[in-house]
Chain A
Amino acid sequence: MSFPWARQYEPKNGLTKFLDEKLPLPRLVYGAIGAGYPVPRNLSYMWNFGVLAGFCLVLQIVTGVVLAMHYAPNALVAFGTTEHIMRDVNWGWMMRYAHANGASFFFIVVYLHIFRGFFYSSYKAPREMIWLLGVVIFLLMMATAFMGYVLPWGQMSFWGAKVITGLFGAIPIVGEPIQVWLLGGFAPDNAALNRFFSLHFLLPFVIAGVVILHIWALHIPGSSNPTGVEIKTEADTVPFHPYYTAKDGFGLGIFLLLFCTMVFFLPNYLGHPDNYIEANPLSTPAHIVPEWYFWPFYAILRAFTVDFFFVPAKLMGVLAMFAAILVWFFLPWLDKSPVRSGHYRPLFRKFFWFGLIPTMAVLFYCGGAPAEEPFVMLSQLATAYYFLHFLVILPLVSSIEKPEPLPYSITEAVLGSDKKAVLGENTTPAV
């Protein structure tokens, strides 16, 4: 870590001294999430979601590995083994419900994490790389969740796979061969189910790898904070342990309370009844919807109903859906305001709360609604505003806005005054 006042790890007994020489793993942990990692003293609960997302990843890997012990990725028996897990395997129902709801909670936590990033501009220098890696993690999560949903081989599994791989068919010329290649057949079948299982098992570990890079990149500048003012002195920080291990632990408790409520009392609330009907290639469910966490992007996909010059509507929808996430990669350079926190940006704040957030809510709702009026029109308006926000409003706001005065330091923001600020002492920010 970069701050000179960070506490150094000191092995105390023979064993830790031995370890520290041969494999300094305790030193790594101490410096990364222990007392050796100084963190801004003013982090709010919005800073809990990184740790919670990490917890969700572990939860999904543990329950997923357990489920894989009882599940068979074969189109003839996949649906049956899923029911076998639910009815016959000891605690199988709990493992599966925890895994299915765990995916939803993973997305809830990650969406809040991203939302935090939007409001506090966590993507700005010097933290661009953390943000870029985060977007990569999100894309990997979407792929993993999509393939996982196919595995129970119910009606929604099958038709979800068909519709989503059908998106690639929208690409001119090479689209259809790509679709057939992805599925290993002309429609989702055993080949597709097998490869989705294989990749669904692999990708979480790829995510874990990128998460390590994400945390590594975070530890170079250190965490941002609600004021967006960088750390100046030791007084601005507290050690991660015990301060934030305790705060994150409390957050984890709340999280588990909500999670267990869903798993034990409303396990199918976020699912679709159609997925308890075995996949039938000859009959489409009346209303195909993806899982709730894809709704905003599904709404963007369906918002394009007319051809745009020579680009067919279907391809436009696909491009827009991918662009909706890829635009996040450019955020650090689209939002040029030097002020990070939304608390000190009056104009940005208005567009955030009254523009972006309602837009996301509309997209979310329309994505789960049937494709009829007024939802199509609403999706179109919301999609237009979504891109307008990132590509026009953000750059414009950052150039015309007059930010409110920032506190001198984190300490001043917390205590109301900072001795160093009063004395006018010039402290160089430690980087």
Chain B
Amino acid sequence: MADTTGTATPETLAVHGEDGVRRRDFINIAAVSFAGVGAVAVVLPLVSQMAPSADVLAESSTEIDVGSIEAGQAIKAVFRKQPLFVRRLTPAEISQADKVDASSLRDPQTLAERTKEGHLDMLVTMGVCTHLGCVPLGAAEGENRGEFGGYFCPCHGSHYDTAARIRKGPAPTNLVVPDYEFTSDTVIRVG
């Protein structure tokens, strides 16, 4: 093809148009853009396939009957394939948790903020240490409950108090309270 930057003769005008833009430039940009959009469109499913699949998400809410838990007792349930601690606090544990000035804590929260109204004694938390994801001890009978009487993570020594708040050790935040609600007086639905 002839030099395109030269003066516009009638002959070149037919090919280039009046503004000096070649048909070929347009086709080139259009084709590359189209291919680029196509490539991005292909990346989307490739990335998205890694996300949790429908059957994994289908397990994302769990119903638990908490009626049979006695004060001072805890159960380990499974929520999203992770341990979930449900503990009925004793009056002593509640007062121990309320005694602490929440604003002095690493992750300031009161027990009332971590439980549902009218169910101050029912502490529902993930059994996943917020440091690196180990399962803390303390839910089962006879396990080490740490210096603050709640949970203790043996991996890197995080101590949680009776409201499962971080008090000592490397964990950055309190044990996570998942979204849940009481569907009746004795049943909770988590997730």
Q: Is the CB of A288 within 8 A of B155?
A: yes
Report if B81 contacts A (CB, 8 A). Answer: yes
Q: Is the CB of A283 within 8 A of B135?
A: yes
Residues of A within 8 A of B82 (CB): 186-187, 281
Residues of B within 8 A of A180 (CB): 51-52
Residue in A163, A185, A189 whose beta carbon sits within 8 Å of that of B134 in the complex: A163
Residues of B within 8 A of A166 (CB): 132-133
Q: Is the CB of A186 within 8 A of B134?
A: no
Residues of A within 8 A of B134 (CB): 159, 162-163, 284, 288
Bound-complex Cα distance A305 to B170 (A): 6
Residues of B within 8 A of A191 (CB): 52-53, 56
Can you pick out 13 interface pairs between chain A and chain B where the beta carbons lie within 8 Å of each other? Answer: A162-B134, A163-B132, A182-B50, A185-B52, A187-B81, A187-B82, A283-B135, A288-B134, A302-B156, A313-B170, A314-B132, A314-B172, A371-B155
Report if A173 contacts B (CB, 8 A). Answer: no
- Closest CB of chain B to A41's CB: distance in Å? 51
Report if B131 contacts A (CB, 8 A). Answer: yes
Chain A interface (Cβ within 8 Å of chain B)? 159, 162-163, 166-167, 169, 180-182, 184-187, 189, 191, 195, 281-284, 286-288, 302, 305, 307, 312-314, 371-372
Residue of chain B at shortest CB distance from A288: B155
Residues of A within 8 A of B50 (CB): 181-182, 184, 195
Q: Is the CB of B135 within 8 A of A284?
A: yes
Report if B102 contacts A (CB, 8 A). Answer: no
Residues of A within 8 A of B135 (CB): 282-284
- Closest CB of chain A to B49's CB: distance in Å? 9
Residues of A within 8 A of B155 (CB): 163, 284, 287-288, 371
Q: Is the CB of B80 within 8 A of A187?
A: yes
The 8 closest A-B pairs by CB, nearest first: A186-B80, A166-B133, A284-B134, A284-B135, A187-B81, A163-B132, A371-B156, A162-B133
Per-position binary interface string of chain B over residues 76-91, scored 1 when its CB falls under 8 Å from any chain A CB and 0 otherwise? 1010111100000000
Q: Is the CB of B83 within 8 A of A281?
A: yes
Q: Is the CB of A312 within 8 A of B172?
A: yes
Per-position binary interface string of chain B over residues 146-184, scored 1 when its CB falls under 8 Å from any chain A CB and 0 otherwise? 000000001111000000000000101000000000000
Main secondary structure on A side of the interface with B: loop
List which B5-55 residues lie within 8 A (CB) of chain A.
50-53
Per-position binary interface string of chain B over residues 124-148, scored 1 when its CB falls under 8 Å from any chain A CB and 0 otherwise? 0001000111110000000000000
- Closest CB of chain B to A203's CB: distance in Å? 16
Residues of A within 8 A of B131 (CB): 314
Residues of B within 8 A of A195 (CB): 50
Count chain B CB atoms within 10 A of each CB in A281, A284, A287, A371 and give the residue with the most: A284
Q: Is the CB of B56 within 8 A of A184?
A: yes
Residues of A within 8 A of B52 (CB): 180, 184-186, 191
Q: Is the CB of A314 within 8 A of B170?
A: yes
- Closest CB of chain B to A392's CB: distance in Å? 28
Residue in B80, B83, B156, B172 whose beta carbon sits within 8 Å of that of A185 in the complex: B80
Residues of A within 8 A of B172 (CB): 307, 312-314
Q: Given the known A-B contacts A281-B81, A281-B82, are A167 and B51 also in contact in the complex, defined by CB atoms under 8 Å?
A: no
- Closest CB of chain A to B179's CB: distance in Å? 13
Q: Is the CB of B154 within 8 A of A167?
A: no
- Closest CB of chain A to B78's CB: distance in Å? 7
- Closest CB of chain A to B4's CB: distance in Å? 39
- Closest CB of chain B to A65's CB: distance in Å? 25
Residue of chain A at shortest CB distance from B106: A307
Bound-complex Cα distance A307 to B106 (A): 11
Q: Is the CB of A163 within 8 A of B133?
A: yes
Residue of chain A at shortest CB distance from B135: A284
Per-position binary interface string of chain B over residues 53-89, scored 1 when its CB falls under 8 Å from any chain A CB and 0 otherwise? 1001000100000000000000010101111000000
